[in-house]
């Protein structure tokens, strides 16, 4: 290959790489925007319900509270099984509905903890999430090998949490909180790297939109769980 051909070849490669990087940046920005908007919806609904007796009394003083608490889990399962077949617009609407239901579920936080401690914990959780997500995005280290351990840790935390509903052990709750924070911080880095690696410039816009929504859901769940578990340490009760 002569020098002219090499120059044009390298130039085309550099341009292609620049276009890919810009597309990836826009994709990640879309993911974080969805996640941020979802957190705003959740926070507003949680605050409104948690500060309005006419709303929270009928919910949390009746069996309806179990529906509110378990509904987010049903949404997550629905997302996981239907994301491939639903349209991008349906995925977005389902995500917004999930965030709203999660707001109902988290309204109890405002009944238990002071507003100051909730705000403080939110900023601590945001700092932890931001740092680990940034690490997952920029690191060259393959985090896939940690995925299986994180998933096993997540399963262990879920099982232990269910068991502790009946035991009511403060020591077990402390252990769950510590291990849970470590697990969800790790999942934040791992999920961020997965979202980055799954991006492909040549897939259609519809698929990219669904990928962004599902990525936002993954990061949203990590953040909410970090926040809730941190409240066990930094939250001041009413």
Phi first, then psi, for residue 61 (nearest 5°) are -110, 15
Which pLDDT belongs to residue 123?
93
Cα 27 to Cα 31: distance, rounded to the nearest angstrom = 6
Tell me which residues of the chain have a pLDDT lower than 70.
1-16, 200-202, 235-236, 238
Q: What local confidence, expressed as pLDDT, does residue 135 receive?
A: 94
Per-residue burial over 115-137, b if 16 or more Cβ lie within 10 Å, else e, is eebbebbbebbeebbeebbebbe
**pLDDT, tens digit (0-9, with 9 covering 90-100), for 122-138:** 999 999 999 999 999 99
pLDDT at 74: 81
What is the value of pTM for the model shown?
Answer: 0.87
CB atoms within 10 A of CB 178: 13
Task: Look up residue 46 and give its two tokens.
Answer: 């949680």
Rg (CA), the chain: 21
Q: What is the pLDDT of residue 95?
A: 92
Please report, for the chain, the start and end positions of each structural domain, with discontinuous segments joined by +: 3-234
The number of CA neighbours under 13 Å toward the Cβ of 170 is 2
- Check residue 192 and give its pLDDT: 94
Predicted confidence at residue 201, as pLDDT, reads: 62
pLDDT at 16: 66
Q: What is the pLDDT of residue 43?
A: 92
Which pLDDT does position 2 carry in this prediction? 56
Angle between helices 205-234 and 115-138 (to 10 degrees): 130
pLDDT, one tens digit per residue, over 23-55 is: 788 999 999 999 999 999 999 999 999 888 888
What pLDDT does 186 receive?
93
């Amino acid at each position: 290959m002569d020098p002219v051909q090499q120059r044009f070849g390298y130039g085309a490669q550099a341009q292609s790489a620049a276009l890919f990087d810009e597309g990836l940046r826009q994709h990640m920005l879309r993911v974080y925007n969805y996640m941020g908007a979802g957190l705003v919806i959740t926070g507003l609904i949680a605050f409104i319900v948690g500060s309005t007796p006419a709303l929270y009394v009928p919910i949390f003083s009746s069996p309806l509270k179990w529906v509110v608490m378990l509904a987010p889990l049903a949404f997550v399962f629905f997302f996981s099984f239907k994301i491939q077949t639903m349209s991008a617009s349906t995925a977005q609407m389902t995500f917004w509905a999930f965030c709203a239901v999660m707001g109902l579920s988290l309204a109890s936080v405002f009944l238990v903890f002071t507003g100051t401690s909730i705000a403080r914990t939110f900023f601590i959780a945001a700092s932890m999430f931001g740092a680990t997500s940034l690490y997952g995005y920029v690191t060259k280290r393959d985090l896939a090998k940690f995925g299986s351990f994180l998933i096993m840790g997540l399963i262990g935390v879920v099982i232990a949490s269910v068991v502790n509903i009946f035991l009511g052990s403060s020591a077990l709750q402390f252990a769950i909180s510590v291990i849970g924070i470590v697990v969800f911080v790790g999942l934040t880095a791992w999920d961020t790297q997965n979202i980055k690696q799954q991006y492909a410039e040549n897939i259609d816009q519809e698929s990219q939109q669904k990928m962004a929504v599902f990525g936002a859901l993954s990061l949203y769940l990590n953040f909410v769980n970090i926040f809730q578990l941190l409240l066990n340490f930094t939250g001041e009760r009413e």
